[in-house]
Amino acid sequence: MSYRITHTCIQKQIGDLVFYRIPLFENTGNVVAFFTTRLGGSSTIPELQSMNLGFSKDGEKVENVRTNYEKLCRAFSLIPENLVLTKQEHTDIILTDAHMHRGMGWNEPVSIIADSMITNAEDCILVKFTADCVPVLLFDPVKRVIADVHDGWRGTVKRLAEKTVQRMCFDYGCDPRDILAAIGPSIGPCCFEIGSDVASVFTEGFDPFYTFPTNPNKYHSNLWSCNVQQLMESGITADHIAVANICTYCNNQLFYSYRREGKNTGSLGAFISL
């Protein structure tokens, strides 16, 4: 599948806080959306320094994580009590009424499993966590609907981004031709190594060109292109898609990476709010 993506994400900084904004979204004036880095926070454990957003990391202090969220919210004029956090288990479960759960993960325990969330409510802050997995943000500026997708390789082959677009259309009346999409920093084709069993799943579900052999019985796959393919097949046009094209594994000074650092590495965040 051939396509040409011209939009990207731009690194910005406020004090010591470093993040990535999405000009494609910002030009509408109706949404706050950004991808965090590991810089500018209060976490002190070496693996988590310093903008860790995961509450369940070994040795992490809850007050440090809360301070990190508060700092981000101040920078973007958001209210922490409007955060919505869910459990992420590489499912294709979509929470379609995320605004009904404001405060989950902040004022109350996280009780819902969902790797994707949708809302049309203002001031509802959707957050998805990644540390190599692909964050996908969706925004319909016409119907004023947003979605936040945690899309690891399992979510990609389950076509979670495409299913989220479908639910935006079915539940909120969106037209996919109006929807804007952004694929944030995540593990790139340079570093996403898989075995032949997983490679066959990708070649069956996506353009085989996106998965290629490297070493004997080892392959690399381009999760960014696989997600662009399913977004376009859902009806979103190429000129409505932004791709950061930044590998979290390669850039250890900026990003956490599960494959590089192990399971107790910190959590990055993909934020979006009307």
> Please, what sign has the CA dihedral across residues 100, 104, 109, 114?
positive
Please compute the mean of the pLDDT values over residues 232-253 and round it to a whole number: 98
Reported as a single tens digit per residue, the pLDDT across 52-108 is 999 999 999 999 999 999 999 999 999 999 999 999 999 999 999 999 999 999 999
pLDDT value of position 95: 98
91's tokens: 């499912």
Instruction: Collapse the DSSP code of 161 into the 3-class scheme (helix H, G, I; strand E, B; otherwise coil) and give the result.
Output: helix
Confidence of residue 219 (pLDDT cuts 50, 70, 90): very high
Q: What's the rounded mean pLDDT across residues 136-148?
A: 98
- The pLDDT score that the predictor gives to residue 2 is 81
Element (H, E) at 235: none
In the structure encoding, which two tokens stand for residue 115, read together? 């790797």
CATH code reported for the domain at 10-273: 3.60.140.10
* pLDDT per residue as tens digits for the range 9-56: 999 999 999 999 999 999 999 999 999 999 999 999 999 999 999 999
For residue 81, what are its two tokens?
Answer: 């009590």
Query: In the prediction, which pLDDT does 1 show?
Result: 81
- 152-205 pLDDT tens trace: 999 999 999 999 999 999 999 999 999 999 999 999 999 999 999 999 999 999
Per-domain residue ranges of the chain: 10-273
pTM, two decimals, is: 0.98
